[in-house]
Structure 1
Amino acid sequence: MTVAVWEAMRRHPLRFARSTWPLRCWAFLLSGTVVGLVVLLLFAALLFVGLGLSVVGIGLFALMGLAVLGIPVAALERRRFRIVEPEPLLDPHGSLPGTGTWPWLRTRLRERATWRELGYTLALGVVFSVTGVGFIALLGLSVLLTATPVIVWAIAPDTVMLVPGHPISDPVAALPGSAAGLLGLLVSAYVGGMLAGAQVWVARSLLSARDEDLNSRVIELTRSRARLVDAFEAERRRIERDLHDGAQQQLVALTMTLGLAELELRGQDAPAAALIARARGEARQALDQLRSLVRGIHPQVLTDHGLPAAVSELALRNPIPVTVDIDLPHRLPSAVETTAYFTVTEALTNASKHSGADQVAVVGGLRDDRLVLLITDNGRGGADPAAGAGLQGLADRVAILRGRLVVTSPAGGPTQLRVEVPCSA
């Protein structure tokens, strides 16, 4: 574990005393001593109140406050460490399951980081505050001895008693004390660096995020991402159902009504007949567009028959001939099927618009519980994911399920998209 102040002392031991490091370490230790003493008093007060009033139940709230005291102290310390440590300490706490005091308290009391922060708070109040007081005494005495000639000159003709039995009334006679003070400041520079480095080392061990904290955070992010995918898919199906059962049925009724009106006017020389026939054609066209939109939101064949049938139907509507060879032993999870389907849809659309291809092949199967799709066209190639949002959007869609998208598109073609999606995601 590398500590910046220790590394500075090791690399340039002589230059260290002339740099800004001593002043930063002194500011860090002085502020830490003040914080440590305040924390120690607060810790003692909460412990006294908690134990004294625990028999009536009120003290339990004080004890719970004592248990989470380390959280705000640690947050303050992570900011204060920036004085001597350029690399910030990561917050080890995970996200909260809800809002309010009790969900926050339950979550934090179950985390190991909370108890490590409480241990650091106790060390700050007892160990580091005591060492800080000793360091302040050393630094204060060094500053006082360095300023001895000025002090003697300022209070003359009175004498200054620096050493018992040896009064000093001449500033020149106080120069040895000044030399001792300068030596003390030099010692304080290195002692302050060692103490500040020790406190940073302990803080990194107790306050920074550990592997288990990061792992739990990754798990929570994965779960929240899965919940977002489910919520997005549920909302998309709701929109598809509303369009199918609402607007689509109204357009069907409108088309039938216009057809009946057209039958009533057939054979009559009425100007409205042509308008009704035109309105019926426009209503039929709007119905076809709406059906295409509904199918694009979530095709019913994907829900009923799975990915191979849905991609085969998609290939029939594609302007470029598409061969489909997807062999799956069973149905895949809904989120995986939906992501794969819309990835193929976007890939075929891009091939039709930009590749200049006259043949596209879609091949897929399961390998080690991962859906693998290869979408290949014989176009001009040169597809660049960084050139636009199309391929990048496909990669983002696949990444939601912890999958990946690999694009191979040399100049002159062919272009191949390899999609891998874990079925357990």
Structure 2
Amino acid sequence: MYPRTAWQAMAQRPLSFLTSSWPWRSLAYLATGVVVGAAAVAVFVTGLVAGLLLLVVLVGVAPLVGVVLSSNTVATVERYRLRLVDRDEMPNPHRPPDGAGFRAWMSTRLTEQVTWRELGFALVSAAALWWLDLLVLAFSFGLPVLTFEALQDRTTWPWAVFGVIVLLASPYTVTSWAGARAALTRTFLAPRDGELGESLREVQASRVRLIDSFDAERVRIERDLHDGAQQRLVSLGMMLGLMRLDIPEGSPLAAQLTAAEEQLSTAHQELRSLIRGLNPPVLADHGLVAAVQDHASRFPVPVTVDLQLPGRLPRQLETNVYYLINEAMTNIARHSGAKSAKIHGRYHADVLVLEITDDGHGGAEPSAGSGLTGLADRLTALEGRMRVSSPVGGPTLLHVEIPCHFA
């Protein structure tokens, strides 16, 4: 799968990373960060100075309010620039104004928590982040230039060697800071609970209801198969057994009856396997860990399960996580060509962290029907997130984080 963030790109093989666009995207991110930061400093300083000088006649309130609202523009630009090194979408958390006109717009913005969070980010960016961008660029490219100029003096050749090393490492230096800066930006500017638009919240709620209805329908189908089709197969087996009592041994009809019993046994086993997959009893009786281990024991690819949880998850969440893991394992069997896989899971600070790895050929792409889109949809309904590292040639790592609480 194509990396979604700068840090994911760095996890690729060195040749894949160095020949990709990510080092250049990271360079553009930091270079534009210097420009945006310098412009923000100029606007903030001008607004603060004008506001403080005019505050004595109360006119200075307008420039100070302008400084606060200008942080909205800085945040908008930052969300746009973030696409260079973080492809995960970040919705705009601002709600529509409560009325028409500039006054209603200004009143809405000044009463939103996100506006003040954006102001805090703009101040941090103006005071420190763009300086750090400039420092990283100067170290990665300015320092090598200075050391190369020192070649005129043959006694300083070790510094030139150091400059070459710094220049060769610059793709990793620039990309690593770009990834860290992007993570900090997302922490400040990503929407919080309650800041998403009403329509977007309804879409998320409808997706949760849809998955819940699928789960309920799956339970109903499992119950109907168990109480209906499976019982009829058992009755049919008994009828065939009674028929055998009336048929002489060695007759052609006896051979046909034996073949029919074998087909019936195979169908019964397949139906039992289907029912177990729809609503495994081990999940309800013994929990997620036992259910995953049971499924892995019957999986065509050898799977090592290292899943440790402090207790039982809520039933609905437990079911969803189980089928999420099943779907990921199915993707491995169908698409990866792997010879082995591993499921690792731990619970940290109200977050269930899962890592599913395989030694297959990699190159997982959602557009190729790898099933990653279905995983992403299920995780969205669970308010979780996922990262995929799947360079061509493998291995593939699926990292999943799901917020949850144990009883």
Q: Normalised by the size of structure 2, how large is the TM-score?
A: 0.51
* Aligned equivalent of 1:376: 357
- 1:249 CA displacement: 1.1
Match in the other structure for 2:308:
327
Q: Write the mapping of 1:295-334 to structure 2, written as runs, cut at 5 A.
A: 295-334=276-315
CA shift in 2, pair 1:214/1:320, >3 Å: closer
Cα pair 2:331 2:370 within 8 Å, conserved: no
In the aligned structure 2, how far is the partner of 1:389 from the partner of 1:320?
17
Q: If you compute each CA radius of gyration, which structure gives the higher value, 1 or 2?
A: 1
How many residues align? The count is 232
- Specify the alignment match of 2:322 in structure 1: 341
Deviation at 1:352, TM superposition (A): 2.1
Report the RMSD for the aligned CA atoms in angstroms. 3.1
**Does residue 372 of structure 2 align to residue 391 of structure 1?**
yes
The one-letter code of the counterpart of 2:326 is: T
1:230 equivalent to 2:131? Answer no
Residue 234 of structure 2 aligns to a residue whose secondary structure is helix
Paired with 2:395 and 2:370, the residues of 1 have a C-alpha distance of 21
Q: Does 1:412 align with 2:393?
A: yes
SS of structure 1 residue aligned to 2:366: coil
**1:258 maps to amino acid:** L
Q: Secondary structure at the match of 1:227?
A: helix
Mapped partners of 1:349, 1:231: distance in 2: 22
> Contact 1:336–1:421 at 8 Å: present in 2 too?
no
| 1-structure distance, mates of 2:207, 2:371 | 21
Contact 1:363 1:373 (8 Å CA) reproduced: yes
State the TM-score, normalized to the length of structure 1.
0.49
Q: How does 1:186-225 map to 2 (within 5 A)?
A: 200-201=101-102, 204=105, 214=196, 221-225=203-207
In terms of mean alpha carbon deviation, does 411-420 or 268-277 score higher? 268-277
Aligned partner of 2:221 among 232, 235, 239: 239
**Structure 2, gaps ≥5 residues long:** 1-92, 113-193
Find the counterpart in structure 2 of residue 350 from structure 1: 331
Q: Which digits, 9 at most, give the CA deviation of each residue in 1:264-309, with x for residues without a partner?
A: 42x5343221222111111111111111211222211111111111
Instruction: Name the counterpart of 1:254.
Output: 236
The whole-number CA distance in structure 1 between the counterparts of 2:299 and 2:196 is 45
| Contact 1:258–1:277 (Cα < 8 Å) also in 2 | no
Query: Aligned partner of 1:241: which letter?
Result: R
Q: Distance in 2 between matches of 1:206 and 1:254?
A: 75
Q: Give the distance between the partners of 1:222 and 1:393, measured in 2 at CA.
A: 15
Identity score, percent: 49
Pick closer, same or farther for the CA change 1:342–1:332 going to 2, 3 Å. same
Amino acid paired to 2:266: Q
CA offsets per residue over residues 357-385 of structure 1, 9 Å max, x none? 21111111211212111111112222223
Alpha-carbon distance change, 391 to 223 in structure 1, aligned in 2, over 3 angstroms: closer
Report the 3-state secondary structure (helix = DSSP H, G, I; strand = E; otherwise coil) of the residue aligned with 1:277: helix
CA contact (8 A) 2:383 2:403 kept: yes
Output aligned runs, 1:10-409, within 5 Å. 200-201=101-102, 204=105, 214=196, 221-265=203-247, 267-388=248-369, 390-409=371-390
Which residue of structure 2 aligns with residue 151 of structure 1? none
User: Is the CA contact 1:315–1:324 (under 8 Å) kept in the aligned structure 2?
Assistant: yes
Give secondary structure in 1 for the equivalent of 2:401. Answer: strand
Q: Is the 8 A contact 1:365 1:372 kept in 2?
A: yes
